[in-house]
Structure formats: C-alpha cells, structure tokens
Structure 1
Amino acid sequence: MRRRRGDPEAEVSEEIVEKGDIYFAYRPRIEEDKAEDLGDIQRFYMVMKPERQARLRVAVLGRKRLPEARDHERIWGFIEAIKSGPAVEDEFREHHYATRTRGERTLPPVRPAGEGVYALIKRGRNLHLSYELELPRRPGEVQEELNIERQAAYILSIKNPEAGSPPGAGLSEREEAHYPKPVERQFRGRRFASEDPHLLDYEGAEFILIGARVDPERAYGVDIETEHETARNADIFRQLKMSPREHPIGPLIKGEWQ
C-alpha cells in the first residue's frame, strides 16, 4: 500500500498485474521512401509482449504519437492484431498491391522507433501503463516528434464495445472487439473498464491512453528492470522477427528519420 500524495491518511493500493517488452514503430505513407516528420507517417504502432507469453498485441494509436503526460492528454487506440513474432513481421514488411487507377502501389516497411520494458499497474480503480526505453540510448528527433519519452506512464481505459461511439469515431461494429459473454461481463455495463489487461487480448479492442506521469518510477515506486541493448542484440529484431536488412534502423539507434 502507498499513501496518496497530499493526503497522509488516505491509501491507494498498487499491484503490478503484467510486465513485458514494449516496442514503438511507424510506417511511412504509401509510395514514400522515408518519413521526415509526423505528416509523412501512415500509422504509429505500439507493440506489447507480456512476459512468458508468445503472443504480441499490435496496437495502433490514432494521433500517430503518444499522449502528452504533463497535459493529461487523451489519445484513442485499438488492438489491430494479436500475433506471433513471424506473423507481425509478415504485416510490417514492404507490401505491393495493384490498383485500377494508379497501377502498382508500394506500402513501405515499418521502421522501429523504440524498444523498452513496461509494466501494467493496477492503482486503485485505474490501470496504468508505465514504460522505460532501452533503445535508442539517446532519443532523437524521431522520438521527440512521436512523443516517446525515456520513461512515462498513462492511465489505460478499455472501451466497452456495447457502449457505442459518437458518429464517425472509433471502429465500426464489424471491426470492434467481440468478447465472449463471460469476458464481456467484466464491463458490468460501464462504458470503460480498467481492471483486467486481458481485455486487450482481442483484436478490435479499443482503449484510451491518458497522459499521467513523466517520472513513473518515483510516482509508483516501481523499478522496471531495463537491459543494455544494442543494434546487434535488440529484442525488436529477435521477438518481432524484423530483419535489419528490410527495416531501416536509424530511427531506433540514432533517433533519425528514415
């Protein structure tokens, strides 16, 4: 138990409910050889791999960056896929497809932009996502524009698909998560739930990230153990099966746009 800051009598419980590896990556727009700023990005990915699990959660963030922790900014996202490493690489590599009006089009390969470790912390009634970077060792312009801090934390709330969305917002009914009835009951009729991270283990699961902390280790008293990573032993290539030959690594190693 920890005492709530500013109130010595009140206490709030904290429990780490999940730990693992976290990766950030982006894909430039169609037919773009490289990205030079946020406007050149088609999608921004956040991938979570829980400890002792083979599955990976591939999430897409709507504003193509992480929320501002200091401003308690809210950013919507969704789980695009639950896959193994080889299946993630199949999705992240370069793709070619034909169109009727423009001929063959090229979807460039995804670029890795960050690697680290994370913890999901149940704090009171909220679920917090806290992470710390291992790569790049010195964040650069890519991390600054994508708002990938050295360490940060967010309140993570998972949307009840039965609650509906405003017109033009969120995923369609066909795309959103379809939870089994026993899992769906965890929402208890609420619009959002934040107790069980396994609600994220379904494709189409929608969530809101709310900026919470820029110094989570101090705020939660949680020490997330990082490791010394280099381009040669980076987990993003081992676990996601991404080949450095096919995916430009400048953003991950030097923080430079590619």
Structure 2
Amino acid sequence: MYVVLRPESAPDRAVEEKQAPDSGKEGKKRKTRHGGDEKGQADGGNEGGHGKEVINEIVHSLSEKSAHCSPFSSLQEVNVEEKPLLRLIVMGKKSLPDPAKHGRPFWGYVDLVTTDIEDVKDALKGAEYDTATRGKRHQSAARAMGEGVYRIVKHEGRGGRPHTHLVYKLELPSRGEGAVGEPQEAMNVEPEASFLVQIKNPEQRGGGRGGGGGGGFGGLQGKRKAAFPEHLQGRFGSNRYAPADPPDLLNYEGCELLLISASDDVEEELGLELQTETEEETGEGAGDGGEGGRAWAGCSDLVKMFGEVADVKPLLSGSWD
C-alpha cells in the first residue's frame, strides 16, 4: 500500500527541510533527466536519503538555481506554499492498521521524497522487472483509495510522555457515496482516523516492534536506511524510536516508521476537528454525496496529479468497478 503525503503550509511553518536532492531515488531520477553515468544511477537508487550539516550549501528550491543545483549540495529547503513536496510511503502490510486493534504496530518506510510530481507518477505506474530467482515479474499500477487532509500533531498522554499522531480525514470518496466502500474496507481506510507515528532510529539494529508480530517486514538493510543530518539524528539519543518531531524526519528516503492505530474519532481523542477543503468551501460536511460530491471529484488534486497512471474508480465511487 502506498501513502502519498503532501505537506501544506502552517502559520509558523512554510518551509520544509528535506534530503539532499542528489541522494536516493530522487537523485537517480535527476541524473536520468539531466544525464549521468549509468553506474551512478544504479548505485544512488539503492541508498536512502542523505543530509549533512552544511548550512551554507542549502539549496532553496524556490530560486531558479534549484533546477541546476550542485550535485554535491547537502540539504534542500522547500517552501511548500510555492512548490509541492511529496513523500511516498510504502506500508509493509499492504494496508493501514485496523482501527479496532489498538496498539498493534504496522511498519512502513519512506520510499521517495521529491519536489517533482513526475517522480511519483513513475513510481505508481505498472512495470515489469526481472528477478534472480523468479524471472520476469509484473507490478500492477496503483489504484487510488482515498484523498483527504492530514496533520501531524504533538500530544501528551496520561503519563506526560510526548508523542506524535498522524491524523487524517477523507474528502473522497464522499460520505454520501459510501466512504467505506469495499476497497476502503479491505485496506482499513476509514473516513477519519488517528495513528501514533514513531520513527525508527537508523543507527539501531532491526527487530523489535517493527519486525515480527504482524508489523510487516524486519526493516531496511544497509545503505537503504536513511542517513539523517546530525540535528535530526540527535532527536533519537540512545532510543530505538522517536516521535515524528519535527516532521522533517519524514523527508528522507529510507526513513522507517511505525503506525499504531489509536482512534477513528479524531475530535474525541485529541480535541481536534479536521476540516476538509469541501467543508471550508461549502460550509457543510463532506457527506454531501450528490452533485456536490461529484463536482468536487472534478477538482481532486489526486486525480489531476496521478489520474493518468492510477486507477481512480475506487476513489470516486467507493467500489472496485
């Protein structure tokens, strides 16, 4: 299962810091577009995102030089009011956590971080590839399950220990047209939900909560892990996991995370009411599944961005067909 997160600006946070644009899969795709030796392309695509503490070399993605930045730049700042920042997350269990099974962790990792929509389109397309043991394999194109708004919020539990929640609320499928249709039910995509989100320390060995016990896989190996800059790596200390604070931790390919189901009622749990764009524009809930819901589908960012490479029927109708 893929989850695409696109940060939007908050009053105190318009700029996001991300991995060096020449590292990881993003770097490989940049080399492919702008030229580069084949060996460099192959090697770069198998490594996680990297960042270094060289502040005077930060590339500001709003300036024209961002398209021609040095291949040895360290970090990149992205003003999300002016340019999209996309995180493609892969969930190991091929679904979101079951909201009825609180406390059960699901493992995932950040597969791609980019400011180029075409990079994500390429990742969502169907493809054929060769394997050493199984020969030629086919990967089907992605199918869109839901679109909505999300926030990453800090919260203190009863013990006073801070943690972070990833909360979301769907805009599509609209509730009047069956937000929890067969595809959404199969993938545990609720109309709204809250998950505890924890980031795995890449300098700690694998195993533990993200490995067995239904969490997914045992973790990424070697160079595929994220290499955080010092100020982010320091957030872990000697701990195996840390909250997603700051959310910049998710802006590095190879960042491993756990999602733990917390609630399907965000307002009751956190006292936070997420408002979708449809609700802001109409003053009504997203449950208007009539003409208003269909009209909003025509304005869908997901359809505009990825509709040509991903099947959007489950998104628009709440059904496979």
TM class, shorter-length: 0.7 to 0.9
Equivalent-residue separation in structure 1 for 2:241 and 2:125 (angstroms): 34
Q: Which of 120, 123, 143 is the matching residue for 1:111?
A: 143
Q: Percent same amino acid among aligned pairs? A: 36
Note closer, same or farther for the CA distance 1:175–1:221 as it changes in structure 2 (3 Å cut): same
Secondary structure of 2:232 counterpart = helix
Partner of 1:9: none
Partner of 1:202: 252
Aligned 8 A contact 2:303 2:312 in 1: no
Secondary structure of 1:237 counterpart = helix
4+ residue runs over 6 A deviation? 99-104
Deviation of 1:118 (Å): 0.5
Q: Which of 137, 143, 164 is the matching residue for 2:184?
A: 143
Partner of 2:228: 179
Decide which structure has greater strand share. 1
For residues 153-212 of structure 1, the C-alpha deviation after alignment (integer angstroms, 9 at most, x for no partner) is 011000001111028710102211111222211111111110321111100000111111
Equivalent-residue separation in structure 2 for 1:106 and 1:93 (angstroms): 11
Q: Is the counterpart of residue 89 in structure 1 residue 121 in structure 2?
A: yes
Note closer, same or farther for the CA distance 1:205–1:98 as it changes in structure 2 (3 Å cut): closer
Equivalent-residue separation in structure 2 for 1:106 and 1:71 (angstroms): 33
For residues 199-255 of structure 1, the C-alpha deviation after alignment (integer angstroms, 9 at most, x for no partner) is 1110000011111111002221212121236332111133xx2134x4222111122
Range 106-115 or range 118-127, more displaced: 106-115
Note closer, same or farther for the CA distance 1:121–1:170 as it changes in structure 2 (3 Å cut): same
Equivalent-residue separation in structure 1 for 2:138 and 2:106 (angstroms): 29
Equivalent-residue separation in structure 2 for 1:215 and 1:99 (angstroms): 43
Alignment RMSD, CA only? 2.2
Count of equivalent residues = 212
Partner of 2:316: 253
Deviation of 1:102 (Å): 8.2
Q: Which of 306, 311, 314 is the matching residue for 1:242?
A: 306
Range 153-162 or range 168-177, more displaced: 168-177
* Residue identity in the other structure for 2:171: E
Equivalent-residue separation in structure 1 for 2:133 and 2:196 (angstroms): 44
Q: Is the counterpart of residue 78 in structure 1 residue 128 in structure 2?
A: no
Structure 1: stretches of 5+ with no match in the other structure: 1-43
Note closer, same or farther for the CA distance 1:233–1:161 as it changes in structure 2 (3 Å cut): same
Deviation of 1:56 (Å): 0.8
* Residue identity in the other structure for 1:76: W
TM-score (norm 2): 0.61
TM-score (norm 1): 0.76
Decide which structure has greater helix share. 2
Partner of 1:121: 153
Equivalent-residue separation in structure 2 for 1:145 and 1:169 (angstroms): 24
For residues 55-106 of structure 1, the C-alpha deviation after alignment (integer angstroms, 9 at most, x for no partner) is 1111011111111223212101100010232210121123244678988654
Range 180-189 or range 167-176, more displaced: 167-176
* Residue identity in the other structure for 1:242: F
Partner of 1:211: 261
Q: Is the counterpart of residue 59 in structure 1 residue 89 in structure 2?
A: yes
